[in-house]
Amino acid sequence: MANRIRLGVILLLLLGVTAACGAPAKQPALDGTNWNLTAWAEPEPIPAGVAITAEFADGRVAGTSGVNRYNGAVESSADGSFAIDRPVSTMMAGPEDAMKAEASYLRRLEEATSYAIDGDTLVLTDADGQPSLTFTRA
Domains of the chain and CATH, by start: 26-137 (2.40.128.270)
Query: 48 pairs with which residues across the strands?
Result: none
Query: Tens of pLDDT along 85-121?
Result: 999 999 999 999 999 999 999 999 999 999 999 999 9
As a whole number of angstroms, the distance between CA 80 and CA 123 comes to 10
Query: What local confidence, expressed as pLDDT, does residue 1 receive?
Result: 53
Cβ atoms 110, 84 nearer than 8 A: yes
- Pairing state between β 82-84 and 88-89: unpaired
pLDDT per residue over 6-49, tens digit each? Answer: 433 343 333 343 344 455 589 999 999 999 999 999 999 999 99
pLDDT surpassing 70 at residue 83? yes
So what's the pLDDT on residue 25? 81
Question: Is 25 within 8 Å of 49 (Cβ atoms)?
Answer: no
